[in-house]
Amino acid sequence: MPDQNSTDLFVVISGCSAGGKSTLLAELGRRGYAVVEEPGRRIVRDELKAKGSALPWVDATAFARRAVAMALADRVAVAGGGGWVFFDRGLIDAAAALQHLTGEPALLPLRRSYRYHRRVFLAPPWPEIYVTDTERRHDLEAALTEYRRLLETYPSLGYEVSILPKIGVRERAEFVLSVLEE
């Protein structure tokens, strides 16, 4: 295991929407690991409750800016925990969305700062389980476009990508933990 004071303990689970990320994080949480819920879902819940406009289908740029701020706050909140911390998406996903929407170089500072564990896990597209809901309104094609962007973004920032296999959640959790033990 990496140094206990290092952000090498921060592990990102990202990838395609409705690819089983949140289910995997819930399983890791049940096993006693610290998990951080996806910023986007929290923002959507807050904005819907407050009748706000920082929603991806209303003001995507405001949504992405809030996601960046929330992801930065999440990192501070879990720092120094002393064990693996699993993030459902996080700062890089939010910055990639912001850069895509605005053209601002939001990813550039992330090459050296605000690092996560070198190994990032991406959930591949899984059309058989794809569903929309009140917080996820985009269609599968939009999810695939985002996935392709993330598949390029993480390696461009020096991360090694492991694609999560399409297997049961317990087996997926074992896969993640075994890769991290290597």
Q: What is the pLDDT of residues 104-124, one digit of tens each?
A: 989 988 888 899 999 999 998
50 pLDDT above the threshold of 80: yes
Q: Domains in the chain, ordered, with CATH? A: 7-181 (3.40.50.300)
Q: Provide the β-strand partners of residue 12.
A: 87
Question: Is 126 or 11 the better-scoring residue by pLDDT?
Answer: 11
Dihedral in degrees, nearest 10, Cα atoms 70, 73, 78, 84: 50
Give the predicted TM-score (pTM) of the model. 0.88
Cα atoms found within 13 Å of the Cα of residue 168, Cβ hemisphere only: 2
At position 85, the amino acid (one-letter code) is V
Q: Is 171 helix (H, G, I), strand (E, B) or coil?
A: helix
91 pLDDT above the threshold of 50: yes
β strands within the chain, DSSP E: 10-15, 34-36, 85-88, 119-123, 160-163
pLDDT band (50, 70, 90) for residue 3: very low
Mean pLDDT of the region 120-145: 69
128 pLDDT above the threshold of 70: no
Question: Is 169 or 2 the better-scoring residue by pLDDT?
Answer: 169
161 pLDDT above the threshold of 70: yes
Distance CA 106, CA 95 (A): 5
pLDDT of residue 132: 58
Question: Is 56 or 70 the better-scoring residue by pLDDT?
Answer: 70
pLDDT of residue 136: 54
How many other C-beta atoms can be found within 10 angstroms of the C-beta atom of residue 158? 11
Distance CA 117, CA 120 (A): 7
Six token digits for residue 47: 């904005």
pLDDT band (50, 70, 90) for residue 139: low
